Amino acid sequence: MYDILYVLLRRLRAPLITLIVVYAVSIFGLVLIPGQDDQGNVWHMSYFHAFYFVSFMGSTIGFGEIPYAFTDAQRMWTLCTIYACVVAWLYGIGTTLAVFQDSGFTRLLRLRRFVNHVRSLTEPFYLICGYGVTGSNLARELTERNVRVVVVDIDQDRIDELELDGLRIPVPAFCGDASLPDILDHAGLQLPNCAGVLALTNSDKVNLAISIASKVLKPKRIAISRSESDITTANLASFGTDLIVDPFRSYAEYVALAAHSPHRHLVFDWLMNPEHRNLASVYRHAKGRWIICGFGRFGSNISRELKQEDTEVTIIDPDRKNIRGLPGAVLGVGTEAVTLQQAGVEEAVGIVAGTANDADNLSIIMTARELNPKLITVVRQNLSANDLVFENSRCDFIMQPGQIIATRIMAQLKTPLLSEFLDQLMLQDEVWAHTLLNRMNATVGEEPLESRSVCIGTKEAPAVLEKLQEGTEIKLIALLKNPHYRKETLHCFPLMMRRGDEVKLLPGELTELQEGDDILFCGRKGALDRMAWTAFNYNTLHYVLTGNDATQSRLQRWLQGSDTK
């Protein structure tokens, strides 16, 4: 990284030589020209005095004619050299400033600062490529949890935005093309503390390049990628990308789930967003026809998902080509009452406004609601600048693809078990989901529902491990006791347990724990913290199991063990 110094020196070559030559000529001239001392004798200035004089004369400080008053010849020479020196200095300073303002040079400086910052990180960090809606949401969530992130984006404006976003911990950010391996390398792709790579750019090609680079360098590291087409998804899956999210498809699945199985949808919603809606807000499950305005990527995905559940769908699209071959499709935007009536809005149960224009989408919803107030409304928001209007639009769903995949990825990073649980959830029926919802509601009430996984191992549950190695049987219920008062139960319960390849949903409280078990809990945040503490601290666990305080030291514990034997 000596590039900067070399570039600077190379550009300053001409001004430096000018300065040296001007000084040398000035000094030499002063030495040659005869002067007079105070007695009127001929006196030659020495190099020492000449250098002294030129040093303050050249920088226009001007201490006067030292050591003796100058003759006219000396003054004439000084007159010439004064201007030469000033010009040489201006040239030198001007060039230096120009180098520092040069865009190539500042880019080099920024890159160097970025690389130094990334290299100085000691904690594990996530590399986020693409600071759009998803990227910025994730960066905020992760930094809120004191997790380090590094951001790369191709657009300098977004990097500037990051600085304005006021994240809790400093985030090294760089403007560069993330599909280039050296940019990724600068961003710390090869560092041992890079915990995961998130490819969230708008371009599938770039995401693919990032994921491949990450997987080639470190196959075991988490790589998460956004994908907008099935071909890319298949390609990403082929080399083991850990999570692939398609914003349009995931949201379509989400909306379709709401339409046909509201209880499962609410379980999903609660686990994904801690700020959940209350139980009363379960969408009424009304079988019937849906209207989809705009048959683009979003519309076609929703239509496919809905059709899979045998829901009737009517499409409205302004482009004749898009709706060719679709039975019952209506030509038009959907903003006018006539078009909506033509599509049968009065008998429909839901409407999706999925055009690429925010104003059109809102207009569709307003018109449709006037014609049929009972409609379930889904609206697509394209620009995050329109937040205010959409928040107040009283729509049932506001579709922001960026946000939904951010929560999805966050869940994966937080607790990989959660994604697995959600997959399992889709295989269960509505009644099961309803029971689960009631249990969750009883546990957390109005508080946010958090989830956390615990692995019985040295990292998260050393106390449990030690007790197991001592030969004590530990049942799952032990972890659910209040560590301050063991007769009380904490406000949390296990959702899922994984032992080897076997997965058990809602494991019983009497299940005995074994080393290597992965357990997913949900409940109030405080309760989960206490539960994690019990699993971590030997003395606490001992109290919870026996009701007695544990003897403190390992030696005493060993002595006691040998007594009882």
> Which residues contact another protein (rule: CB under 8 A)?
6-7, 9-13, 16-17, 20-21, 24, 27-28, 31, 46-48
Smallest distance from the beta carbon of 166 to another protein, in angstroms? 41
Residues 58, 429: Cα–Cα separation, whole Å: 89
Contact indicator for 509, 480 with CB cutoff of 8 Å: yes
Helix (H, G, I), strand (E, B) or coil at 29: helix
CA–CA separation, 521 vs 72, rounded Å?
A: 96
Q: Which CB sits closer to another protein, 47 or 558? A: 47
Q: Nearer to another protein by C-beta: 6 or 485?
A: 6
- Minimum distance, C-beta of residue 353 to another protein, in the bound complex (Å): 60
| Closest distance to another protein from the beta carbon of 77 (Å) | 17
Comparison of 14 and 97: residue with beta carbon closer to another protein = 14
Select 10 or 119, whichever has its Cβ closest to another protein: 10
CB 321 within 8 A of CB 315: no
SS3 of 134-155: the string is: HHHHHHHHHHHCCCEEEEEECC
Cβ–Cβ < 8 Å for 439, 263:
no
**Residue among 12 and 333 whose Cβ is closer to another protein:** 12
Tell me the closest approach of the beta carbon of residue 22 to another protein, in angstroms.
11
C-alpha span between 226 and 245 (Å, rounded):
5
User: CB of 400: closest distance to another protein in angstroms?
Assistant: 49
Nearest to 178 by CA among 155, 145, 147: 155
Cβ of residue 93: shortest distance to another protein, in angstroms? 16
The answer to whether the CB of 323 falls within 8 A of the CB of 295 is: yes
Min dist CB 15 to another protein, Å, is 9
Q: For residues 21 and 76, which CB has a smaller minimum distance to another protein in the complex?
A: 21
Q: Which residue has the tokens 């371009």?
A: 203
- Spell 118-129 as b/e; 16+ CB within 10 A means b: beebeeebbbbb
- Pick the closer one to another protein by CB: 7 or 505: 7
**Residue matched to tokens 């120009």:** 98
Number of C-beta neighbours around residue 167 at 10 A:
17
87/286 with CB nearer another protein: 87
Q: Which of 14, 359 has the CB closer to another protein?
A: 14
The interaxial angle of helices 156-165 and 133-144, nearest 10 deg, is 30
| Residue among 505, 429, 438, 513 at smallest CA distance from 479 | 513
Work out whether strand 518-523 and strand 450-455 pair parallel, antiparallel, or are unpaired: antiparallel
Cα 50 to Cα 47: distance, rounded to the nearest angstrom: 5
Shortest Cβ distance from residue 6 to another protein (Å)? 5
Question: Measured from the CB of residue 14, what is the shortest distance to another protein in angstroms?
Answer: 9
Compare residues 12 and 108 and give the one whose CB is closer to another protein.
12
Query: In this structure, is the dihedral angle defined by the CA atoms of residues 183, 184, 189 and 194, taken in order, positive or negative?
Result: positive
Shortest distance, position 98 Cβ to another protein, whole Å: 16
